[in-house]
Chain A
Amino acid sequence: MNAGWPQHRTRLALALAALVTGTAAAFVGTPEPPLAADEVAAVELAGWLRERRPDLTVVDLRPPADGQERLPTARPLDASTPDGTVVVYADNGVDADTTAALRERLGSRRVLRLHGGMRAWNDDVLFPTLRGDASAGQRRAFEARAQLSRYFGGSPRRLDPGATPARGRSRRGC
């Protein structure tokens, strides 16, 4: 330890750093990174589709395949894509470069990408999960998600944490 910098000052500095970053975490709330300006969350898009927003077009960027599930009203990208807001999606996310190229191609239309793609649609909209040991507040908040899920033909899931597979003899992690 440097003689000019006493140990208690180092401890104080570390404690202050922890308190500042901890307090900032409380204000930020969630560890999820904020959505980019050109991204839309699956639940928000579901709300727009449910409202039947007239200027909304959903475009599936995936190559066509047999038996492929699509988002409601989704269509492939073609020259007849109408004006207004265009939400593009793929299996996971669509990268910013692809969106920028589409923006050039589609001209005046507002192009957004679905955050998390089809995976987020399935997890957050069609098959949201509620834990069996959820609090009353969590159950109330889940009910709105469950209604949205049923509206789009999904099925909300209930996870019974006690029904996890038998405990293994070896464990992962430290």
Chain B
Amino acid sequence: MFSALSVAMLGVFWLSRLGVLDLAALYVPPTYVWPQLFGGTVFGAGLICAGLCPGTACVALATGRIDAAFVLLGMLGGMLVAGVLLDRCVDFYGSSAHGAWTLPQLLDLPYGVVVAGVVGLAVLAFVAAERIERWAR
């Protein structure tokens, strides 16, 4: 997921810079700080436990992996539960709204510097993850 994010970030930056992509035409989803932090934590915990994200779970299921079927069942069950409970937590769901909020706005840094920072962080994370994996074997 971090690699997809880095590739997309670099692609959007450079395609816009070269005049191929109009940044103003891109939809930036609004930020709701606390609900998204909560949702991100639940999503991340599920990803760590399952070892699959939704996209790779679909691919894994197509290759016949049984664990991917349970991951997808869990994901669909989670969506069902969230939908049923939504009316009870609608205040939290719409809280801490910040509109279309981007990292360069939050950090007050040039867009390119943020791109470089995120890419550097991603590469460091990949190197660290690879070393941990090698150490764990």
Contacts and interface: CB of A to CB of B under 8 A. Distances in A.
The size bracket of the interface on A is 20 to 34
Interface string B5-46: 011001011101111000100010111100000000000000
Contact of B112 (A25, A137, A164): A25
B70 interface: no
Contacts of A11: 126
Contact of A18 (B6, B29, B99): B6
Contacts of B18: 33
* Residue of A23, A135, A159, A164 ringed by the most chain B CB atoms within 10 A: A164
Interface string B95-114: 01111010001001011110
Given A18-B6, A18-B10, A159-B99, A135 B113 contact: no
A28 B97 CA distance: 31
B80 interface: no
A129 to B, nearest CB: 11
A173 B26 CA distance: 10
Nearest to B55: A174
A134 B104 CA distance: 11
Interface of B: 6-7, 10, 12-14, 16-19, 23, 27, 29-32, 86, 93-94, 96-99, 101, 105, 108, 110-113, 115-120, 122-123, 126-127
